[in-house]
């Protein structure tokens, strides 16, 4: 199908509204990329203890290995989403997939902490092309609102399935091979995506995109990375002049970016998208949810392996219920949101996650598998409902021509939340952990090494006499759990706040229309689809989604 049909406005013959042949096969290929991103995030957490032993990163370097990917991807997602709208979303997806596979090899064979940080940064550049491209292509493949809700549910379910497959597959690989093998699993999946996707995914782009504004790209990258870096460093080291300077540079860059978008005839990001209350509410809910969850998730694998002394495979299986709950909830989310309402499903899901995180404040070294599995399963259900419905709201709030940019905003909120979560909550865990009392007689150098990270404590304990080494490990484990419990409490407060915000911002929001529905408007259905498309057309002509009072 031609690019004009794929992305252009609805014509009098409604050709663009017709179901696209092969759309479900194309969806099956698209979700491979989403599956891989889910796998990549979770296997890193499992591999961290092994990576720490081999590369010997400091505590700060370990945090950078964990969050540099999110920093870079957050800074580039809007730019890449807009680039896909211009050069073609399929083309960008295939190029990014190829690069993602190649950089995965660099990660696998990294020989120093600095090389791993650099490789993870490059992986973020490649990863910035994947998520917005897949979601934007879904927007253009599925025009019927109910079909699109199911497709988005499958998209979200496969992302969750990646988090389920990642720990189990990663646990198996770490039990039989070296830590770099967890990155090499990206290669066959990306090869399949590129070969098959080239044949079955239709191209789509904005037919009249305008130029890609390079100054806007640089401003968004500098602004987000500088601001997140400042937040991370303040959480660890407190306020210093260089950190304050970084924050000022980040804020100024973002302010100039926003002002520039208002003056450009073809902006990198159409700021009018944020005039839509449902769009803004969904984006804010995503950011706060991931912020509250990600810091805890990053340290959960270390808790399972280094506090509870589980094997990597056992740790992966223990985390499995979260993904199982998210997959089931994601597939049912569209149906449930239409039977209840968008704000009930999103706010209820976030509240459930927040209460579950509050339950995580009771974690200790001998917490049983059943209790852990139950908490994680409930977290997965709440997150699955929330994320799937907010993704659907974001897609249905914008004209098809701007699907890439809107999807990128959604993913930017996700990745920025992940970066901030790891930086802020991770720094809480790290700062509390470093305060534990070491056994008497330990040298200053050994004390510093043990306080760098939990892995460092195990390394220092190996060089000590039996009883002294065990005392060091017990003190380090207890301090780590104290930090994890407090971070869980902070995460719970963030999630409950997000639930309250979503309740007000998503008032009246309905799936299938992309806007609040007046009481006199008929229920979503076949007529709603044509109405939504006509609204998208008028919104596109105005430069963004139409705003209702």
CA atoms within 13 A on the CB side of 542: 16
Q: How many CB atoms lie within 10 A of CB 366?
A: 6
Buried/exposed 424-459: b ≥16 CB within 10 Å, e otherwise: bbbbbbbebbbebebbeebeeebbebbbbbbbbbbb
The CA distances from residue 226 to 60, 126, 220, 249, 422, in Å, are: 17, 20, 10, 7, 16
CB 321 within 8 Å of CB 376:
yes
**Superfamily holding 20-213+264-530:** MFS general substrate transporter like domains (1.20.1250.20)
Residue 270 banded pLDDT, cuts 50, 70, 90 = confident
Residue 531 banded pLDDT, cuts 50, 70, 90 = very low
The predicted pLDDT at position 467 comes to 76
Rounded-to-integer distance, Cα 522 and Cα 215, Å: 45
User: Is residue 388 predicted with pLDDT exceeding 70?
Assistant: yes
- pLDDT tens digits along 109-128: 888 888 889 998 898 888 88
Q: How many CB atoms lie within 10 A of CB 211?
A: 10
CB 298 within 8 Å of CB 422:
yes
Which of 185-189, 268-272, 500-504 is least confident?
268-272
pTM value is 0.69
The percentage of residues in the chain with a pLDDT greater than 70, rounded to a whole number, is: 81
Average pLDDT for 422-444: 76
CB 151 within 8 Å of CB 142:
yes
Nearest to 178 by CA among 107, 119, 99: 107
Residue 539 banded pLDDT, cuts 50, 70, 90 = very low
Rounded-to-integer distance, Cα 197 and Cα 203, Å: 10
Rounded-to-integer distance, Cα 47 and Cα 69, Å: 16
Highest mean pLDDT among 75-79, 137-141, 495-499: 495-499
Which of 86-95, 271-280, 282-291, 376-385 is least confident?
271-280
User: Is residue 74 predicted with pLDDT exceeding 90?
Assistant: no
Query: Which residues are bridge partners to 516 per DSSP?
Result: 509
- C-alpha torsion 445→447→448→450, nearest 10: 120
The CA distances from residue 294 to 3, 93, 164, 252, 357, in Å, are: 38, 26, 16, 27, 11
User: Is residue 371 predicted with pLDDT exceeding 60?
Assistant: yes
Tell me how many degrees the CA angle 208-406-408 measures, rounded to the nearest 5: 105
- C-alpha torsion 54→55→60→66, nearest 10: -80
Which of 111-120, 216-225, 426-435 is least confident?
426-435
Mean pLDDT of the chain: 76
The predicted pLDDT at position 351 comes to 93
The predicted pLDDT at position 33 comes to 77
The residues near 465 (Cβ < 8 Å, ≥ 6 apart) are none
Average pLDDT for 239-258: 88
User: Is residue 11 predicted with pLDDT exceeding 60?
Assistant: no
Rounded-to-integer distance, Cα 354 and Cα 375, Å: 11
The residues near 125 (Cβ < 8 Å, ≥ 6 apart) are 72, 73, 76, 99, 103
Q: Supply the DSSP symbol for 507.
A: T
More confident residue, 18 or 174: 174
CB 138 within 8 Å of CB 151:
yes
Rounded-to-integer distance, Cα 395 and Cα 134, Å: 12
User: Is residue 426 predicted with pLDDT exceeding 70?
Assistant: yes
**147: region left, alpha or beta (phi > 0 left; psi from -120 to 50 alpha):** alpha
Would you say the C-alpha torsion 423, 425, 431, 437 has a positive or negative sign?
Answer: negative
Which of 55-59, 263-267, 338-342, 524-528 is least confident?
524-528
Rounded-to-integer distance, Cα 90 and Cα 205, Å: 9
Q: For the chain, how long is the longest CA-to-CA vector? A: 84
How far out from the chain centre does Cα 499 lie?
18
């Amino acid at each position: 199908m031609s690019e004009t049909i794929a992305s252009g406005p609805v014509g009098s013959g409604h050709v663009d509204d017709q179901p696209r042949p092969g759309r479900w096969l194309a969806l099956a290929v698209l979700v491979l990329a989403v599956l891989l991103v889910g796998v990549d995030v979770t296997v890193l957490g499992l591999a961290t203890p092994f990576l720490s032993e081999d590369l010997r990163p400091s505590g700060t370097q370990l945090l950078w290995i964990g969050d540099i990917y999110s920093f870079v991807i957050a800074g580039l997602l809007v730019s890449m989403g807009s680039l896909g709208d211009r050069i073609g979303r399929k083309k960008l997806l295939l190029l990014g997939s190829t690069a993602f596979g190649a950089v995965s090899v660099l990660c696998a064979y990294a020989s120093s902490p600095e090389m791993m940080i650099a490789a993870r940064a490059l992986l973020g550049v490649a990863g910035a092309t994947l998520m917005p491209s897949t979601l934007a292509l879904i927007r253009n493949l599925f025009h019927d609102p109910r079909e699109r809700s199911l497709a988005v549910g499958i998209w979200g379910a496969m992302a969750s399935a990646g988090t389920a497959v990642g720990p189990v597959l990663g646990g198996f690989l770490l039990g039989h091979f070296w830590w770099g093998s967890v990155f090499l699993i990206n290669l066959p999946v990306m090869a399949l995506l590129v070969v098959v996707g080239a044949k079955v995914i239709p191209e789509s782009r904005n037919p009249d995109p305008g130029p890609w504004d390079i100054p806007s790209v640089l401003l968004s990258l500098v602004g987000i990375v500088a601001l997140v870096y400042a937040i991370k460093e303040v959480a660890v080291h407190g306020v210093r002049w260089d950190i304050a300077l970084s924050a000022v540079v980040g804020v100024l860059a973002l302010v100039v970016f926003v002002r520039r978008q208002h003056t450009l005839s073809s902006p990198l990001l159409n700021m009018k998208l944020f005039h839509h209350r449902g769009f803004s509410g969904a984006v804010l809910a995503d950011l706060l949810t991931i912020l509250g969850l990600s810091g805890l998730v990053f340290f959960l694998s270390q808790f399972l392996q280094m506090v509870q002394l589980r094997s990597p495979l056992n740790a992966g299986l223990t985390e499995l219920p979260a993904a199982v709950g998210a997959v089931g909830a994601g597939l049912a989310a569209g149906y449930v949101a239409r039977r209840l309402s968008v704000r009930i499903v999103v706010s209820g899901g976030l509240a459930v996650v927040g209460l579950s995180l509050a339950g995580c404040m009771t974690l200790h070294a001998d917490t049983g598998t059943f209790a852990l599995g139950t908490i994680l399963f409930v977290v997965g259900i709440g997150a699955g409902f929330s994320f799937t419905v907010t993704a659907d709201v974001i897609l249905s709030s914008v004209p098809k021509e701007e699907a890439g940019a809107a999807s990128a905003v959604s993913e930017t909120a996700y990745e920025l939340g992940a970066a901030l979560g790891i930086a802020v909550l991770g720094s809480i865990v790290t700062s509390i952990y470093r305060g534990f009392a070491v056994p008497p007689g330990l040298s200053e150098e050994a004390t510093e090494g043990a306080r760098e990270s939990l892995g460092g404590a195990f390394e220092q304990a190996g060089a000590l006499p039996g009883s002294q080494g065990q005392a060091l490990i017990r003190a380090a484990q207890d301090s780590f759990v104290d930090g994890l419990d407090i971070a869980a409490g902070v995460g719970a407060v963030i999630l409950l706040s997000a639930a309250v915000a979503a309740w007000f911002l998503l008032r009246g929001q309905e799936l299938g229309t992309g806007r609040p529905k007046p009481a006199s408007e008929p229920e979503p259905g076949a007529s709603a689809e044509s109405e939504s498309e006509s609204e998208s057309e008028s919104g596109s002509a105005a430069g963004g989604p139409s705003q209702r009072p």
